[in-house]
């Protein structure tokens, strides 16, 4: 350790999203699926996740760096609004025009042998909320609209 604050505060950043990247269990091109294209969900879609805009993550990191009580502590950063991947795919379909079909692919066809998925992944934000008042500002619909608009503009 060189004594910098980054050596002394540990964060776990959950799934983050911005207009340039969208990480989930279906292909980003499906966000602007045209008629006839499908949204592919890996697994059965019952696994749940939460999604946080990268601007909320950066804001949380800045608040932690500015807080001396954060030194030596571990914090989760993310959004605690949970959604199943199937519900996410349905939301993407609706927000992008509703013309896509949703197709599931079993994990054994989507990944190498031995792949294991966590059925639920949602950060506990109580500690960071108590220390620096962190609360994510971007909601999922707004995040998805931003990604969809960005991808459509790139066409």
Helix axes 85-95, 140-153, angle to 10 degrees: 50
- Identify the weakest region by mean pLDDT among 35-39, 45-49, 58-62: 35-39
- In 4-114, at which residue ranges do the beta strands (DSSP E only) sit? 10-13, 16-17, 38-42, 48-50, 52-53, 74-77, 82-84, 101-105
**Among the four given CATH numbers 3.40.50.720, 3.40.50.1950, 3.30.2420.10, 1.10.10.10, the one describing domain 5-149:** 3.40.50.720
Domain boundaries, the chain: 5-149
Q: Which of 24-28, 80-84, 93-97, 145-149 has the weakest average pLDDT?
A: 24-28
73-110: per-residue pLDDT in tens? 899 999 999 999 999 989 988 888 877 888 899 988 88
pLDDT of residue 64: 93
User: Cα separation of 132 and 135, whole Å?
Assistant: 9
pLDDT of residue 150: 78
- Has residue 147 got a pLDDT over 70? yes
How far apart, in whole angstroms, are the C-alpha atoms of residue 146 and residue 73?
33
Mean pLDDT score of the chain, rounded to an integer? 80
């Amino acid at each position: 350790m060189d004594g910098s604050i980054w050596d002394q505060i540990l964060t776990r950043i959950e799934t983050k999203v911005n207009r340039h990247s969208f990480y989930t269990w279906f292909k980003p091109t499906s966000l602007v699926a045209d008629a006839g294209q499908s949204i592919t969900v890996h697994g059965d879609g019952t696994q749940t996740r939460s999604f946080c805009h990268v601007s909320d993550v950066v804001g949380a990191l800045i608040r932690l760096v500015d807080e001396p009580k954060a030194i030596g502590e571990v914090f989760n950063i993310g959004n605690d609004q949970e959604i199943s991947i199937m519900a996410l795919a349905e939301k993407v379909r609706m927000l992008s025009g509703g013309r896509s079909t949703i197709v599931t692919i079993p994990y054994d066809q989507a990944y190498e042998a031995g792949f294991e998925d966590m059925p639920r992944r949602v950060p506990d934000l109580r500690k960071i909320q108590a220390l620096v008042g962190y609360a994510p500002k971007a909601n999922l619909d707004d995040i998805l609209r931003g990604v969809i608009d960005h991808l459509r503009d790139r066409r």
